[in-house]
């Protein structure tokens, strides 16, 4: 942040703290906000050849914004990443403009570049089941095999994010029939826990060499510490090679599969939204957009004019 003035640095730090404490932004989101906005202010300092204090930031023009976007694209930054950076800068400016009392129109009216959204690629039902079974054969340790199977069962059976599954502790055991999960942005949701998931956890705990402690992680690494998400990604990579599945067969794909298979089985989008913990229904639609065949079937059967 050497190219950022003390005033701008202080404002950025205050904004980030606000996003974390009041908005419940995750650590990854805070890091992205910090890097994106700091890069933007550093560019403006170099571009305008003067320190960018709060008054200078309030005078940013549409031309300045286009110069920054052109430079960023020139650095081989893709449209998707540039859109994310612009979103960070806009969020910062909304907060700064309200605090400092200036009009942020020049920043907020800049349009993000268009890009093709990548649709999720869920596994087929049989492939999801095969993945859970196959991860057990990637280790010589029986308890590790049971652990990996239990983790994937939670991802697929409950629609958990990998961070949510690995965030469970001994205090969550035995798993209830409905589990309270604190997800992104501090959003709490309740997800049903299938008997298969409870049984998988029980089987893992019966042979886990480490004691079950209320404040300790439920899923342990080989040395007893918290299980690293990369370990789950790695074991899935080995399993998908054996099964001939594409590189998109990741831990997050199990969550995609949970949503899409529920929709295929007759679940409604609003209920699936609640189970996934999405704030916006459009996000849930993206998860299930791959199942357009079933949506057309429902439309043709139910629409009065069909």
Q: What is the pLDDT of residue 206?
A: 95
Domain assignment of residue 118, yes or no: no
Query: Do 157 and 222 fall into the same domain?
Result: yes
Mean pLDDT, residues 265-283 taken together: 67
By three-state DSSP, how is residue 237 classified? helix
Cis geometry, peptide bond prior to residue 174 (ω within 30 degrees of 0) = yes
Exposed, middle or buried by CB within 10 Å (0-12, 13-18, 19+), for 264?
Answer: middle
Residue 95 CA to residue 113 CA, distance in Å, equals 23
Query: Do 99 and 134 fall into the same domain?
Result: no
* Domain that residue 98 falls in: 6-108
Confidence of residue 159 (pLDDT cuts 50, 70, 90): confident
By three-state DSSP, how is residue 140 classified? coil
By three-state DSSP, how is residue 132 classified? helix
Query: Do 84 and 183 fall into the same domain?
Result: no
Domain final position from 49, 83, 108: 108
Q: What is the pLDDT of residue 303?
A: 56
Domain assignment of residue 184, yes or no: yes
Query: Do 91 and 132 fall into the same domain?
Result: no
CATH at 159:
1.10.443.10
Confidence of residue 64 (pLDDT cuts 50, 70, 90): very high
The single-letter DSSP state of residue 73 is H
Q: What is the pLDDT of residue 158?
A: 85
Query: Do 98 and 132 fall into the same domain?
Result: no
Give yes or no for residue 306 having a pLDDT over 50: no
Domain assignment of residue 119, yes or no: no
Domain final position from 108, 143, 173: 108
Query: Do 103 and 184 fall into the same domain?
Result: no
Mean pLDDT, residues 114-137 taken together: 82
How large a percentage of the chain has pLDDT more than 90? 41
How large a percentage of the chain has pLDDT more than 70? 84
More confident residue, 75 or 281: 75
Which residues lie below 8 Å from residue 54, measured CB to CB, with a gap of 6+?
Answer: 7, 8, 11, 96, 100
CATH at 41:
1.10.150.130
Query: Do 158 and 294 fall into the same domain?
Result: yes
Mean pLDDT, residues 246-252 taken together: 89
Domain assignment of residue 115, yes or no: no
More confident residue, 53 or 222: 222
Looking at the annotation, which residues are catalytic?
Answer: 161, 184, 252, 255, 278, 287
* Residue 160 · residue 172 · CB < 8 Å: no
Domain final position from 74, 108, 142: 108
Give yes or no for residue 146 having a pLDDT over 80: yes
Give yes or no for residue 92 having a pLDDT over 90: yes
Give yes or no for residue 234 having a pLDDT over 70: yes
The single-letter DSSP state of residue 244 is T
Domain assignment of residue 249, yes or no: yes
* Mean pLDDT of the residues in the chain: 84
Query: Do 134 and 192 fall into the same domain?
Result: yes
Query: Do 103 and 131 fall into the same domain?
Result: no
Residue 297 CA to residue 278 CA, distance in Å, equals 25
Q: What is the pLDDT of residue 181?
A: 81
Q: What is the pLDDT of residue 161?
A: 87
Query: Do 141 and 260 fall into the same domain?
Result: yes
pLDDT in tens, 259-273: 887 777 776 666 777
* Residue 19 · residue 29 · CB < 8 Å: yes
Mean pLDDT, residues 164-178 taken together: 90
Confidence of residue 117 (pLDDT cuts 50, 70, 90): low
Looking at the structure of the chain, the number of domains it has is 2
pLDDT in tens, 130-145: 999 999 999 999 999 9
Q: What is the pLDDT of residue 52?
A: 80
Q: What is the pLDDT of residue 284?
A: 63
Domain assignment of residue 14, yes or no: yes
Give yes or no for residue 294 having a pLDDT over 60: no
Which residues lie below 8 Å from residue 116, measured CB to CB, with a gap of 6+?
Answer: none
Give yes or no for residue 235 having a pLDDT over 60: yes
Query: Do 159 and 100 fall into the same domain?
Result: no
Q: Of 13, 65, 15, 62, which is closest to residue 44 (Cα–Cα)? A: 65
Mean pLDDT, residues 140-168 taken together: 92
Q: Integer distance in angstroms from the first to the last C-alpha of the chain?
A: 60
Query: Do 154 and 73 fall into the same domain?
Result: no
Exposed, middle or buried by CB within 10 Å (0-12, 13-18, 19+), for 131?
Answer: buried
Give yes or no for residue 240 having a pLDDT over 80: yes
Inter-CA distances, 149 with 131, 137, 158, 250, Å: 9, 10, 14, 14
pTM over 0.75: no
């Amino acid at each position: 942040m050497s190219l950022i003035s003390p005033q701008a640095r202080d404002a950025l730090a205050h904004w980030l703290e606000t996003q974390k404490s009041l908005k419940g932004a995750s650590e990854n989101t805070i890091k992205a906000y910090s890097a994106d906005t700091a890069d933007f202010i550093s560019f403006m300092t170099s571009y305008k050849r003067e320190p960018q204090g709060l008054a200078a930031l309030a005078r940013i023009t549409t031309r300045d914004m286009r110069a920054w976007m052109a430079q960023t694209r020139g650095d081989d930054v893709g449209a998707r990443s540039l859109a994310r950076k612009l979103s960070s800068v806009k969020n910062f400016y909304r907060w700064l403009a309200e605090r400092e009392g200036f009009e942020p129109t020049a920043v907020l009216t800049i349009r993000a570049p268009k890009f093709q959204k990548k649709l999720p690629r869920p596994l087929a039902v049989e492939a999801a089941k095969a993945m859970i079974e196959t991860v057990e054969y990637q280790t010589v340790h029986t308890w590790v095999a049971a652990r990996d199977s239990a983790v994937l069962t939670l991802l697929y059976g409950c629609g958990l994010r990998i961070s949510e599954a690995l965030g469970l502790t001994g205090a969550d055991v035995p798993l209830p029939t409905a589990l309270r999960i604190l997800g992104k942005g501090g959003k709490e949701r309740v997800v049903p826990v299938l008997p298969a998931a409870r049984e998988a956890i029980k089987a893992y705990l019966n042979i886990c060499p480490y004691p079950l402690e209320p404040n300790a992680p439920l899923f342990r690494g080989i040395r007893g510490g918290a299980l690293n998400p990369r370990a789950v990604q790695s074991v899935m990579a080995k399993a998908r090679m054996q099964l001939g599945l594409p590189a998109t067969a990741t831990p997050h794909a199990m969550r995609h599969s949970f949503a899409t298979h529920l929709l295929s089985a007759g679940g409604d989008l609003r209920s699936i939204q609640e189970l996934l913990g999405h704030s916006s229904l459009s996000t849930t639609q993206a998860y299930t957009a791959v199942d357009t065949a079933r949506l057309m079937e429902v439309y043709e059967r139910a629409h009065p004019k069909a």
